[in-house]
Amino acid sequence: MASWLRSKAQRFEGFLDGRTKSPTNETATAPAVKAASETNRPTPQNSTLLQAFEWHTPGGHWSRLANTVSTLSDVGITAFWLPPGCKANDPHGNGYDCYDLWDLGEFDQKWTRATKWGSREELDELIAKAKSSDVLIIWDTVLNHKTAGDAKEECWAVEVDRQDRTVEQTAPRKIEPWIHFNFPGRGDHYSSLKWHWQHFSGTDWDQRSQKNAIYKIVDPPESLPRPGAAVDPNWRKKDWATDVDDSNGNNDYLMFSNIDYSNAEVREDVQKWGEWMVSEVGVDGFRLDAVPHISWMFTRGWIRIAKEAAKRQNRELFIMGEFYNSNVNKILQWMDRMDSGVYAYDIPLLSNFAKVSMAKNKLDVDLRKVFKNTLIQHRPSNAVTLVTSHDTQPGQAVDTPIAPYFKTLAYAIMLLRREGLPCVFWGDLYGTKGPHTSSAACEGKLPALVLGRKLFAYGEQTDYLQSRTSIGWVRHGTWDRADGCVVIMSIGGAAKNSMFVGPTKAGQVWTDILGNCGDAITIDDRGYGIFRCADKSVAVYVRKEAPGRADFGACHPAKFTMQ
């Protein structure tokens, strides 16, 4: 009975695929290819971002990255997203456990001078090498919290419900968190601000009671306005920020000691740090961590000031926010509160990748709808697309499984289409360490996809929505990057489709740069070719004699082995 049901289901799937194929060549209108620009301005190289670390990357990474700049630039990487290289709460911290923003591995604090990633001198060398190869430096920026204060400090607080931070579960009482930061190794260098309880709105540990909880820091009773007395117009009740995401009742608090951006000293210090990172350290942009949890008004102002610092040096500043939510409207709401140039991660697209790749039955998915309700659909020019990150890799808090075969397809979608700014993951390029060690993804062919984007993914785009399980598209090239490419993929059986590349390419022979399909496709007199891919696979066809085809020798997996 079970085999009979499977047979019926397979026949029904085939019926659905047949009903949803694109029009045949006889009825389709050949898509127009844009003529050369009258000004013949050079087509700029496609941008490709690399998350240049994974959660378990070994220490000394600044020097390791400096040695890879040339190779990665040659293959098509144009920007490095670096980890938060500020001083963490211990020598092995990744930087998300931020202790001192101003210490980039320069001062002897927290039992080390260098950070896990390296010393300030090694960071400067990396930035210099990147700039010499026109590779931008994007700094991962943790502005939500600080951790591992230098001393305990008494303050008043209430415990709040973990599921609803607007619900106070205790009366105000004195607690004793590690919340005084005096930075003994750095002193007053760069910044003289010493942090006290007034600079925070919450914390998670009371040394006095030895208890972990979410504590909202409140005003001491003696500082509260007395009934009937005149109230200072500048007085503000200490509370969570209200201009944050509304999950958990109020999503201001995330972890550790939560920074209070209603405090003027805090705002001034963190804004000056952003200017310093641009003007003195030389970063080209910021990846803002955990933006749902930080005052949106402060974030908008911080971005404006940082961009002004870059403008004074005749530079543009790149800003992307990490708003981890599969609801695209939540992300759009945050983007609308920022300026028009801000980018955000397309988490809804990542969620769609996961659903498609892990579906047990292809009746449950439709590859043609992978962009539905995504940032690519709503803000294609400001969407950062990704397949994996340090947050979503196996074992992490938001582990998002992607079937191994599908990673190659997902990267092809990210890298070879017009929409979005693709972000390649270090662990997919070089493999990952730690308890879930893995080799490079895409059977080692990810560098070839990145290089394919650099060389061939240009010009107008024509989609071929062949079926629920197979799609394709053509990039028609530009006047000075004329070759273009053809992509066809399947999450089911082997697929083929007749696709138009243009009559000017008649007689050309096109082959798959990934080597997944051995067919040589000859373009007919009308400009069509019949392109194929194997089951659960993708093929990327380019003219066999196209300039740059010889460069694919540089994509050998042996060149992408982490030392």
Burial class (CB within 10 angstroms; exposed 0-12, middle 13-18, buried 19+) of 396: middle
CA-based end-to-end distance of the chain: 54
Helix axes 328-337, 296-311, angle to 10 degrees: 60
| DSSP states along 128-165 | HHHHHTT-EEEEEE--SEE---SEE--EEEEEB-SS-T
Amino acid symbol at 313: Q
Give the contacts of 469 (CB within 8 A, at least 6 positions apart). Answer: 13, 17, 362, 367, 490, 491, 492, 493, 495
Helix axes 404-416, 347-358, angle to 10 degrees: 140
Q: Which of 140, 206, 322, 391 is catalytic?
A: 322
Q: Which of 289, 391, 419, 483 is catalytic?
A: 289
Active site annotation includes 232 = no
Q: Determine contact, residues 466/439, Cβ cutoff 8 Å.
A: no
Buried b (16+ CB within 10 A) or exposed e, 235-255: eeebbbbeebbeebebbbbbb
State the Cα angle at 105 between 281 and 103, rounded to 5°.
Answer: 70
Helix, coil or strand: residue 516? coil
CA distances from 295 to 201, 246, 250, 289, 432 (A): 12, 12, 11, 13, 34
Active site annotation includes 176 = no
Q: Determine contact, residues 325/349, Cβ cutoff 8 Å.
A: no
Alpha helices in 188-246 (DSSP H): none
Q: Do the bridges between strand 528-533 and strand 421-425 make them parallel or antiparallel, or are there none, so unpaired?
A: unpaired
**Beta-bridge partners for 486:** 474, 541
Catalytic residue annotation: 289, 322
